[in-house]
Amino acid sequence: MAKPKKPEGIEELVAPVEYPSIQEITMLDWYAAFALMSNTQSPETAAKYAFDRAEAMMAEREKRL
**What range does the domain containing 50 cover?**
22-64
Domain count, the chain: 1
CA 19, 25, 31, 34 torsion: positive or negative?
positive
Q: What does pTM read for this prediction?
A: 0.59
User: What are the start-end ranges of the H helices in 1-65?
Assistant: 10-13, 27-37, 43-64
Is residue 8 a part of any domain in this protein? no
Is residue 44 a part of any domain in this protein? yes
* CA gap 51, 14 in Å, rounded: 32
Is residue 13 a part of any domain in this protein? no
Is residue 7 a part of any domain in this protein? no
Output the tens digit of pLDDT for each of the chain's 65 residues: 667 777 777 777 888 788 778 888 899 999 998 888 877 778 878 888 899 999 999 999 999 98
Is residue 52 a part of any domain in this protein? yes
Is residue 27 a part of any domain in this protein? yes
